[in-house]
Amino acid sequence: MKVSVIIAIILLVFIPSIFATHNRAGEITYKCDSLNPYKYYFTLTTYTEVSSAADRCELTVYFCGFNDSAVFYRVNGLAGSCQNPAKMGENIGNNVKKNIYEGEHTFSGSILSCRIMLEDPNRNAAIVNISPNSVNIPFFIVSTLSINPFIGCNSSPVLLNPPIDNACQCKKFIHNPGAYDPDGDSLAYKLIKPFQEGGVVIPCYTLPSGVEINPYTGDLTWECPGSDTPAQCGGIVGGLGEYNFAILIEEWRNGQLIGTVERDMQVTVVGGCQNNPPVVEANDTCIVAGTNLNMLIEAYDVIFVGQNGVSTINNVTLEATGGPFLLANSPAQFTSVGGASSVSSPFSWQTNCSHVRKIPYNVSFKVTDDYAVNKLSDTKTINISVIGPAPVLTAANPLGSTIKLDWLAYPCSNAIGYKIFRKVGCQNSNLEYCETGIPQGLGYTLIATITDINTLTYTDDNNGSGLLYGQEYSYRIFAFFADDAESKASNQKCAMLKRDAPIITNVSIYETSLTTGKDTVRWTKPTEFDSILFPPPYKYLIWRANASDNIFTLQDSLTNGINDTTYVLDTDLNTKDIQYLYKIEFYTINGRKKIGKSNSASTLRIEATASDNSITLNFNYDVPWTNDSFYVYRESQTNVGTYNFIAKTNSNSFKDIGLINGKTYCYRVLSIGQYSDPTITKPLYNMSQVVCAVPKDTTAPCAPNLSVIPDCENIKNTLSWNNPNLTCADDVVKYRIYYTPLLDGKMNLIDSIIEPTTISLIDTLDGLSIAGCYTITAVDSFNNESVFSDTVCVDNCPVYLLPNVFSPNADGVNELFNAFPYKFISGVEMFIYDRWGNLVYETTNPKIAWDGNNIKTKKDCDDGVFYYVCTVKEIRLTGIVNRVLKGFIMKISKDDSRKDN
C-alpha cells in the first residue's frame, strides 16, 4: 500500500514536467493527389517552447472524427534522440521550436465536410487571455476539407508567415498569416475562439479589445496591445505576456465553401519600448499578363523621442512573402534588405498568361527594426491582379441584315472563350487600366458567348431576327478563363447596315376612333442598293398587323417612285383600342424583285391607370429607333378638343397628380426619338392615341394608433385612438373596432364609430371578463379600409379568497363556508376532507356554500379543522387557467356553554 502511494506521488511530480508548458501555435494544411481524388497529403506545423521537457517526435492526427487516425512523424531539423524517420525540429530563436510533421490519408469516398484534428496536451503556461491556468488546457487545431467530384481536386492554402510574433504595449501591431492558395481559390478570414479538448471552444477565452482582422487580406490589427479588457469569465485581461489568437481561413470556390484552415497563433506583448514601429509603404496594383511588374518597396523607421528628449532611430530589415514567389513558372523576385533606418528594394515579376486568375495574388511586405530590447514591425499586404490582355477587334462589316466581326488570335492559350457585347451608338468609352470585362453603365449588352478560344469571327444576326436599319452598332469583346477571370475589353468597332432598304421613321396616330381612326406612316428611301441589278421604276408595299398577333396583311401599293415616302391610312381603324405594326417593302416594278424591307414599327400606345387624385400613364411601343423623351398633353377642362402641354419625361411612364376624383381627364403623348445614323433626319415625332380616365380613391387610409386602459374594479376597458385626418389622411369618416377574448383568437367586428372626431370608447363587455385583444381600422369616404392597427391585449385580474373559519350555529353570521367576493372565475373544483382524510364535501360552485354537513351522510360534521383542495378556474387572456389552492378551515358550531354541558 505504501509503495503504491509513493509511485502515485512520483507520477504527480513528474507528469507536469512531461506534458506541461509546451504548445504555442500551429495549423494543419493539406494537398490533394491529382491522380487519386481521395488521397491527400497533410502537413502539421506546430510551434513549441524549446525550454519545455515535452517534445513530440510524432503526433496522432484524426480524420472525420476520433475513430480514424494516423501517426505523423516530424520531418524537419537534425537527427537526434528521435527514432527514424523522425527528426528533432528546428530552433528558430526566442525559445521557439518549429516542428513539421507529414503524413497521408486515403478516404473511402466523397465527403461533405471532414474535420482534420490534432489534440495534444498542453498549451504553454501563463497565457494572458486564456484563464484560468492555460497550461492545463489541451492544444487543439482543426482544418476541414470536402471531397466532391463537382469541386475537383482541392489543396488548402499554405501559410507562409510564422504564427509567433511580438508586440509592444500600446504600439499598433499588424500580423498577416501570408496565406497563399495554390488553386487560386478565394480566401476569407475570421477571428474565432481557439479550441480545447474534443474541439470545444475554450470557455474562458477573451479576445482583447481593439483586435480586428481584415476579411479580405487577413491583416490582423491590434490597436493597443496589452490594454485592459473585461475578461470572459470575470475580472480584467491585460498587461504584458503571451496572448493567443485563432484565425479561421475559409476557402471558397464558385460561391461554395470547400475548406478551412484554423491557425492558432501567439503574440508576446512586451513593455518598456523605447522605439516606434517602422513603416512599410506599398499599394495594390494590377499587371497585364505578359508584361513585367516593377515596384520599389520602401520602408523606414519612425523616430522615437524619449522623456529625456533624446531621440532614437533604428535600423530596419525589409522582407516579403506571398504566393507569387512560389510559382513554378516565372516566380516574382524580391531581395530582403536591411542595415539602415530607411531601406528600399525592387519587387519585380515577369508575368505570363499562366498567372491570370480571378482572385488577386497577396504579397506581404514586413519591416522589422533592430531595437535591442524588443523589436517592432509593420506589415503591408497588397493585392496584385494579373489580368488577361485585351483581344484586338480588326473589323465589323455589314452583310445584309447582319454584321460580321473579326479579331486577332488571342495570345493566352489558357483562355477558354470570348464574350461579345453590343450597344446602339458609337460613343467611345475609356476604360480604366485595371478594369476587366465590360463594366455596367456603358450601355453594352451581352449577345454571345463563344467557348472556343480559337474562334476568330462572329456574325451578329440579332438572334435570327436581323439587326435594325438606321442604327449604328458598337461592339467589344473580352476573353474569359476557367475560373471566370475576365480579360481587359477589346477596342471598339462600329458598323451600320447598308441602306439598301426603306428605313421607317414615323408611325403616328392621326385620329383616335373606334371605327374611323387613321395612322400616318413615313420612311426614308433606300440609298445604297444596286440600281444596276435593280433598275427603276420602283414601288413600295405597305403592310399592317395587329400588334397582339403580329400577322401582317398587305394594305396598299405605292407606285409613284422611290421618293414617295409618306402614307396616310385613311381606312377605318380602331386606333382607340388596337396597337398597329407597320413595315415597308421595296420592289422593282418591271422585274418584280424585292430589293429590301424595313424593320417593323408600332404606334405609340398609352395605358391610363386611375388612383386617388392621380392618373398614371404607361407608354408602350416597339420601334427600331430610340425614343429619348415624351411630351404629355392633357385636354382642357373648359375647351374640349384642345390639348395643353403639361410635362416632359424621359421614362416610359408619367403620373399626373393633384386631380379631382370623379372627373374625366383625357391625354395624348408625343414621343421624341432618333436613329444613331447621323444622316437620318432627327428628331422623330410620333403621336399616341387619346386615352381618358377618371381618378378615384383606391388608397386606404393609415391605421389609427390604439391604446386600451383596463379597469378590473369596474369590469370595463377604455379604448382611445388618434384621428388619422389630423396626421396621415384627409377623408376618414368612421372606425371599425375588432375584438377577440383570447390571445391569437379570430378578430370579430364589435362596433363601428361613424363620427371621425369620436376617438374613444368604453367597452363593458359581459360583466364577467375584461380579458381580450383589440384592434381598430379607419374607413375613408370611398369605403377603403385601413390595415389593422397594432393589436392591444389586456388581461383579467382574477381574485378568489377563502376564509379560515365559519360557524354554522343558526345565529345568522358565517353560517356557510363561502368564498369571499370573487372576480373573473368561471368555476371551481372544491374538495373538503376531515382530519382522517375522508371526503365530506365537494362542489363546482365558485361560491362553495358548505353548511357543515357531510355530503354523503347529510349529518352535521363534528367541529374541528378540515383540509381543502380547490382548483380555481380563472378567466385569462390565454383561456381558462387552473390555480390550485390548499388550506385549512375551522368549523365552530357549538358555543362554550354547550361544550361544558
Written as one string, the DSSP assignment of 332-380 is: -EE--EEEESEEEEEEEEE--GGG--SSPEEEEEEEEE--SS---EEEE
The two beta strands, 402-407 and 393-399, are antiparallel
| Out of 6-15, 441-450, 533-542, least confident range | 6-15
Question: Which of 198-212, 228-242, 882-896 has the weakest average pLDDT?
Answer: 882-896
User: What letter would DSSP give residue 77?
Assistant: B
Interacting residues of 37 by C-beta distance below 8 A, sequence separation 6+ = 147, 149, 152, 153
Residues of the chain with pLDDT > 90, as a percent, come to: 79
What angle (nearest 5°) sits at the alpha carbon of residue 575, between those of residues 570 and 578? 130
The three three-digit cell numbers of residue 444, written as one number: 453594352
90, 355, 730 from 707: Cα distances, Å: 75, 68, 22
pLDDT band at 895 (very low <50, low <70, confident <90, very high): low
What average pLDDT does the segment 13-22 reach?
A: 46
The pLDDT of residue 897 is: 37
Amino acid identity, position 616 = T
Can you tell me whether residue 2 is helix, strand or coil?
helix
Q: What is the pLDDT of residues 710-747, one digit of tens each?
A: 999 999 999 999 999 999 888 899 999 999 999 989 99
Instruction: Specify the DSSP class assigned to residue 15.
Output: H
C-alpha 222: how far from chain center: 28
Closest CA relative to residue 590, chosen from 670, 529, 521, 536: 536
Residues 6+ apart with CB under 8 A from 151: 253, 256, 258
Which of 12-16, 290-294, 827-831 is predicted least confidently? 12-16
In the chain, the amino acid numbered 237 is V
Cα torsion through 216, 220, 224, 226, rounded to 10 = 150
For residue 21, what pLDDT band results from cuts at 50, 70 and 90?
Answer: low
Distances (CA, A) of 482 to 46, 156, 418, 455: 36, 19, 12, 17
Is-contact 660 695, C-beta < 8 A? yes
Compute the average pLDDT of residues 648-668: 95
Separation CA 500–CA 598 (nearest Å): 9
Whether the pLDDT of residue 809 is over 80: the answer is yes
Q: What pLDDT shows up at residue 255?
A: 86
Q: What is the pLDDT of residue 699?
A: 83
What pLDDT, on the 0 to 100 scale, is given for residue 312?
86
Helix or strand (DSSP H, E) at 13: helix 2-19
Question: Which residues are paired to 554 by β-bridges?
Answer: 543
Among 705, 706, 704, CA closest to 780: 704
Lowest mean pLDDT among 11-25, 502-516, 631-645: 11-25
State yes or no: pLDDT of 482 exceeds 70: yes
Q: Does pLDDT of 11 surpass 50? A: no
pTM: 0.70
- pLDDT for 223-263, tens place per residue? 999 999 999 888 899 999 999 999 999 999 988 999 999 99
Name residues whose C-beta falls within 8 Å of residue 473's C-beta, 6 or more positions apart in sequence. Answer: 396, 403, 422, 423, 424, 426, 460, 467, 494, 495, 496
pLDDT tens digits for range 30-56: 999 989 989 999 999 999 999 888 889
Q: For the beta carbon of residue 659, count every other beta carbon within 10 angstroms.
A: 19
pLDDT at 900: 38
pLDDT class for 5, splitting at 50, 70, 90? very low
Please confirm whether the linkage preceding 122 is cis (ω < 30° from 0). yes
pLDDT at residue 20 is higher than 80: no
- What pLDDT shows up at residue 493? 97
Q: Model confidence over 427-437: pLDDT tens digits?
A: 888 888 999 99
Q: Which of these, 28, 277, 13, 261, lies nearest to 169 by C-alpha position? A: 277
pLDDT at 16 over 80: no
- How many angstroms separate the CA atoms of 512 and 635, rounded? 14
Instruction: Say how far apart CA 607 and CA 89 lie, in whole Å.
Output: 81
Cβ neighbors of 185 (< 8 A, separation 6 or more) are 154, 157, 251, 252, 253, 258, 359
pLDDT band at 619 (very low <50, low <70, confident <90, very high): very high
R_g (Cα) of the chain, nearest Å = 44
Mean pLDDT of the chain: 92
CA 783/CA 701 separation, integer angstroms = 10
Average pLDDT over residues 893-900: 50
pLDDT digits (tens, 9 = 90+) for 170-180: 999 999 999 99
